[in-house]
């Protein structure tokens, strides 16, 4: 019995040992499979990295042109200088020669070559070709050069806040350079050299070359000639009236293509003030997209459009074109008083029709409209016209505006929204809403880029008119266009009239400098 027991125990122990050996064997086999199959690519890359050194080949960024093909952004060739400390035989001499040729701190460079453990050191970026030729002639061991691309803006400060600029490593930082960076950047290549374990290039080694893929180019909707006129008009406005700044957008109402977009003051994109962050942020900010303000009387276009549409729908509370507004200069709402900017003396601003109220820009009349429409209906129109939300422009940092939550709006708030107070909008939002009011009621997605295309002509992306919604009927829109023509022909906007041309508008705080702008734009189109 003892023998049987001993044999049984022995068998169990042998079985356990066999199971353990089998388990370990399976683990080893699994590990071998993982290393040789799953981990193969990474290990091959590590091996390649150990016995090769690479020089990056920076991809050339795509061009940016206006709608007619005029180049707005291109590239100038520059070079980046690298040094491999292990391959530099005379570190002191090499540091001195590099410092002299590139105007660098020789001691700091020598310290890098002797103490930095990285296999490759970036000595200088964006070096001119003439200096590279001088260094090449000296035949410095362990020093290498790679072509870089220096962004160049032929038009200087024209369209600067829209185009934006790139960082020192050629990555888009602001504007369209940033928004479309994934298309403009391309893919970097590299030049591989075989080296020994300490990074010294092997004699008779063959270099491997992977070409860089150039970035795609952008064709904008912007017309350079219109942009020039706009920027000149803004400059004159600032010189004459001394505001803190000035902005303008020219939008095609038929498809919401941006034909011009400018902010003043501006700056030269070839001389970006990178050392003064506060100044750079102020000058590079596209305020017409990113900043908001109370629109004032220009907002009366939206209030009038909502009223006309409601009248056509049969809303008895809405004012028709012939219905008369009270001549009183004030309105009392929730204990607050709304006043007209005009004192109504000498018969001015007596009983008025809707067209006359627009011509005279009479605040109380638009208070009446807002109150008659009511909070719910008026807010439906505010939403349809795009206030309080993004327009969808292909540009970073768009402001949403400031629109009080409908539930929090009091009667006095609603009254003031009617003539452009207690609401804040961006210049872009107001331009899009106004265009929709007179183009047949169509609200499109505004855009700055017409197409994205490759060097060989392949079109990656083409941007056309994208209808978001219809805000008012064609009939209401036609009535609005006629009334806004009346503002220029007979009302407060007479100075903007151009003989032989249909011009509509709505006055705000500054109008006189817009006259020459309109006339010059007409010359361009005709």
**Residue from 266, 297, 355, 477 carrying the catalytic annotation:** 297
Alpha helix stretches (DSSP H) within 39-142: 40-51, 91-102, 106-115, 129-138
Q: How far apart are CA 376 and CA 383, in angstroms?
A: 11
Quick one: tokens of 229? 């006129």
Q: Residue 435: which of 402, 463, 396, 468 has the closest Cα? A: 468
Quick one: tokens of 47? 């091996």
Q: How far apart are CA 318 and CA 349, in angstroms?
A: 20
Per-position DSSP letters for 98-122, written without gaps between them: HHHHHT--HHHHHHHHHH--SS-EE
Alpha helix stretches (DSSP H) within 224-352: 224-241, 277-284, 287-290, 300-312
Q: How far apart are CA 388 and CA 383, in angstroms?
A: 7
User: Which burial class, exposed, middle or buried, applies to 189 when counting CB atoms under 10 A from its CB (0-12, 13-18, 19+)?
Assistant: middle
Q: How far apart are CA 304 and CA 525, in angstroms?
A: 30
Q: How far apart are CA 379 and CA 374, in angstroms?
A: 8
Q: Are strands 217-220 and 64-65 parallel, antiparallel or unpaired?
A: parallel
Active site annotation includes 327: no
Q: Determine contact, residues 110/181, Cβ cutoff 8 Å.
A: no
Q: Determine contact, residues 106/156, Cβ cutoff 8 Å.
A: no
DSSP 69: S
Residues 6+ apart with CB under 8 A from 185: 59, 61, 170, 171, 172, 215
Residues with a catalytic annotation lie at: 297
């Amino acid at each position: 019995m003892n023998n049987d027991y001993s044999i049984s125990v022995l068998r169990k122990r042998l079985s356990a040992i066999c199971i353990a050996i089998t388990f370990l064997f399976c683990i080893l086999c699994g590990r071998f499979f993982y290393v040789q199959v799953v981990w193969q690519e990474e290990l091959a890359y590590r091996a390649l990295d150990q016995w090769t050194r690479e020089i990056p080949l920076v991809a050339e960024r795509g061009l940016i042109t206006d709608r007619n093909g005029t180049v707005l952004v291109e590239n100038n060739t520059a070079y980046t200088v690298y040094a491999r400390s292990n391959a530099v035989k005379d570190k002191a001499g090499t540091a001195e020669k590099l410092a002299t040729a590139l105007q660098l701190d020789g001691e700091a460079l020598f310290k890098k070559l002797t103490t930095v453990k990285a296999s490759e050191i970036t000595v200088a970026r964006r070096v001119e070709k003439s200096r590279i030729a001088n260094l090449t002639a000296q035949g410095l061991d362990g020093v290498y050069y790679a072509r870089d691309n220096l962004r160049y803006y032929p038009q200087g400060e024209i369209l600067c806040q829209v185009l934006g600029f790139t960082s020192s490593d050629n990555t888009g930082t602001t504007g369209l350079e940033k928004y479309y960076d994934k298309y403009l950047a391309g893919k970097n290549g590299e030049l591989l050299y075989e080296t020994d374990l300490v990074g010294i290039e092997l004699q008779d080694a063959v270099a491997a070359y992977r070409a860089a893929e150039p970035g795609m180019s952008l064709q904008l909707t912007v017309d350079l000639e219109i942009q020039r006129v706009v920027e000149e008009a803004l400059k004159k406005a600032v010189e004459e009236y001394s505001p803190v700044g000035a902005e303008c957008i020219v939008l095609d109402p038929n498809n919401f293509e941006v034909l011009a977009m400018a902010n003043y003051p501006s700056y030269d994109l070839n001389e970006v003030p990178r050392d003064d962050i506060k100044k750079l942020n102020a000058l590079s900010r596209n305020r017409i997209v990113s900043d908001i303000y109370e629109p004032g009387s220009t907002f009366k276009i939206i209030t009038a459009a909502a009223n006309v549409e409601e009248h056509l729908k049969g809303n008895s509370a809405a004012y028709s074109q012939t219905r008369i507004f009270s001549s009183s200069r004030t309105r009392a709402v929730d204990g607050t008083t709304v006043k007209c900017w005009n004192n109504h003396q000498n018969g001015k601003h007596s009983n008025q029709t809707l067209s006359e109220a627009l011509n005279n820009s009479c605040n109380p009349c638009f208070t009446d409209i807002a109150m008659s429409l009511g909070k719910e209906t008026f807010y439906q129109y505010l939403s349809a016209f795009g206030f309080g939300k993004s327009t969808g422009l292909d540009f970073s940092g768009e402001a949403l505006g400031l629109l009080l939550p409908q539930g929090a709006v009091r009667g006095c708030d609603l009254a003031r929204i009617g003539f452009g107070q207690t609401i804040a909008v961006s210049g872009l939002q107001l331009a899009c809403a106004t265009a929709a009011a007179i183009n047949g009621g169509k609200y499109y997605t505004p855009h700055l880029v017409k197409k994205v295309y490759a060097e060989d002509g392949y079109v990656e992306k083409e941007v056309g008119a994208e209808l978001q919604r219809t805000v008012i009927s064609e009939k209401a829109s036609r009535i609005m266009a006629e009334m806004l023509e009346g503002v220029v022909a007979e009302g407060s906007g007479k100075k903007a009239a151009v003989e032989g041309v249909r011009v509509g508008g709505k006055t705000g705080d500054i109008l006189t400098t817009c006259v020459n702008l309109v006339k010059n734009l007409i010359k361009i189109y005709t």
